[in-house]
Chains A and B, each alone.
Chain A
Amino acid sequence: MTSVPTRPAAARAVPAGRPTAATPSGRVRPRLRALGRRAGSDRVLPYLLVAPAVLLVFALTVYPTVYVLQTSFTDRNLMRTVTRAVGFQNYADLATDELALRALGNTAVFLVGSLALILALGLALALALNEPVRGRTFFRSVVVLPWALTAVVVGVMWRWVLMPDIGIGNYLLAGLGVNISFFLDPRAALATMVVVEVWRSTGYGMVLMLAGLQGIDAALYEAARIDGAGFWRALRHITLPLLVPTLLVATILLSIRAVNLIDIPLVVTGGGPARLTETLGLYMWKESFAFHHIGYGSTVAIVMFAINLVLTVLYIRSLPRGGR
């Protein structure tokens, strides 16, 4: 036996085309229960196993979340020491603010753009770099490098590269006779934000997908190859179905990140010309820390939370049931 943990031969007893891993709960649950009965008292063990994680998370999240919720019903201001309760006034103000509505639209565009690209590119790169390609370590590092940089540095570098007159981006494009106003045209500015975020987070997507790809039994590909299936068929019938749980988690994470994102929009466009490319995260940040209206800012945060919740439920519902 090698010193490397590998999936034992037992897993190969499965006919090609029918994965065992991540089977729908129907098949696994009774076996888990059987395990429990055999091994004796397992009533307490699961709680002990999940306790550290759950308790830690709740300890440091419940109070802040309640605090944010509570603050959204006040007119709390970072520059004032007196705070009054205002009921649902903040929510009413939010619903009638056209800036907020525009921020919602911008966030939607940003979300769809960055999510689609990061998932697609991340998957493509993970597939490519899962193989023993030449220079694999180099390429993996190159893809991850942008993700390892601080947001501030990312924003500053890109902003400098794309500055209208002294940026090297426009300098190179000018040689081709092209002039793009990256920051002054609201649509270009939004696209620039997406490009920078994709540049930054594809490494993240790749890491997530790579881990997921590791969980797919190589024997299945062997069997498929013997059956004569080519690359695309193996991809469609083996890889993608088995990758669904990872894809689901990745989608949820990237979606939440895109909705809540502040640092990239802030340093790249700062809300763009005339607040036209402001996203929800930026809108919330400005209200809380630039205008000091943290009560209203908390309201926006709660709305963002609700959006994340709704989206997550939608993702879970819409992806095929290979997930649980």
Chain B
Amino acid sequence: MARGPRRRRSPVLVHLLLAVFSAYSLFPLLWALVTSLKRPEDAVAYPPTWIPEPPTLANYADVLLRTAVPWQVLNTMVAAGLAAGIVVVASSLAGYGFARFEFRGKQVLLVSLLGCVMVSGATKVVPLYLMLHRAGLLNSLAGLGLVYAVEFLPISVWLMKSYVETIPVELDEAAAVDGSGRLRTFVRIVFPLSLPGVVAVALITFVRSAQEFIYAATFLTEPAVKTSPVGLYMFFTELGVEWGHLTAASLVVVLPIVLVFLLLQRWFVSGLTMGAVR
């Protein structure tokens, strides 16, 4: 697998960059974590404190036991997972098709695919609502997953196409010489070699579907099918924000997404040298 350019400089600079950026990334999240461990009356005290006194797990207990958050996490995983699944299959096939074949209308299709991403999602809410309503797919995770898949398919097709193009054609030729059909070549050689691209595409679709709000809020009104982004909104009540519960729920909700990321990012490997193949 690929590896970055070799460094003669010490990794200290790299670690410094990583440390600084990590602090920047984590700062608001640490505040969220700290707030989630405070009692409601301490959450917005002034001056703000970094150590909850007394710390409490009541917010997490409430969120997990007395609210619909766990169920919503499940719904989110289903919708986002479905979207990612559709996208992986459709985009890897299409990426292979666009990268390895010449055919009439190829450029037109590519450009129009990209054009489909350019219209803002918010304006498509009303027509999509009408379409889903007529198809009976309102309040359905399948319908939502489908809409998400379509949101991220054009990007994914482009990514897969540019990724497959980095795989040397010699491999296809070698397989053809061995008598393998194009489809078989795809399944046996191209797809496995394009795994990092597939992972990227799956990740992007999954993560972004899992936190999408506008479509979820409009298409899902029945409590049983609501997803997390919509559900989190419930802590913005008409009588103020429930900070303790909101931060606890946000962290609970983001955990499975990070777990999925951890699972998939193993395919972004490096340092494996060519020596192994020899």
Contact = CB atoms under 8 A, between A and B. Distances in A.
B153 interface: yes
A35 B269 CA distance: 31
Contact of A153 (B3, B131, B246, B274): B246
A268 to B, nearest CB: 12
Nearest to B270: A130
Nearest to A255: B118
A81 interface: no
B51 interface: no
A131 B247 CA distance: 34
Contacts of A242: 166
Contacts of B168: 7, 10-11, 20-21
Contact of A60 (B97, B131, B257): B131
Interface in B181-211: 181-183, 192-193, 195-197, 199-200, 203-204, 207, 210-211
B61 interface: no
A128 B20 CA distance: 13
Interface stretch (A84-92, A93-101, A269-277, A303-311): A303-311
Interface residues of B, number: 127
Contact of A4 (B1, B94, B257, B265): B1
B258 A141 contact: yes
Nearest to A304: B120
Contacts of A64: 119, 123-124, 127-128, 131
Interface string A1-27: 110111111111000000011100000
A10 B174 contact: yes
Contact of A260 (B3, B120, B153, B232): B120
Contact of B118 (A35, A147, A207, A305): A305
The 4 closest A-B pairs by CB, nearest first: A49-B97, A234-B5, A211-B200, A215-B166
Given A215-B166, A218-B274, 19 more contacts: A2-B277, A6-B1, A6-B276, A12-B274, A40-B181, A50-B93, A65-B116, A131-B4, A131-B270, A142-B21, A148-B207, A148-B211, A151-B229, A157-B29, A199-B28, A208-B159, A214-B196, A218-B1, A262-B122
Interface of B: 1-9, 11, 14-15, 17-18, 21-22, 24-29, 31-32, 44, 46-48, 86, 89-91, 93-94, 96-98, 100-103, 106, 109, 113-124, 126-128, 131, 146-147, 149-150, 153-159, 162-163, 165-174, 176, 181-183, 192-193, 195-197, 199-200, 203-204, 207, 210-211, 213-214, 228-229, 232-233, 236, 241, 243, 246-247, 250, 253-254, 257-258, 261-262, 265, 268-274, 276-278
Interface of A: 1-2, 4-12, 20-22, 28-29, 31-36, 38-40, 42-43, 45-50, 52-54, 56-61, 63-65, 67-68, 121, 124-125, 127-135, 137, 139-154, 156-158, 160-161, 165-168, 171, 199, 202, 204, 207-208, 210-219, 221-222, 224-225, 230-231, 234-235, 238-239, 242, 245-246, 248-249, 252-253, 256, 260, 262-263, 281, 284-285, 288-289, 294, 297-298, 301, 304-305, 308-309, 312, 323
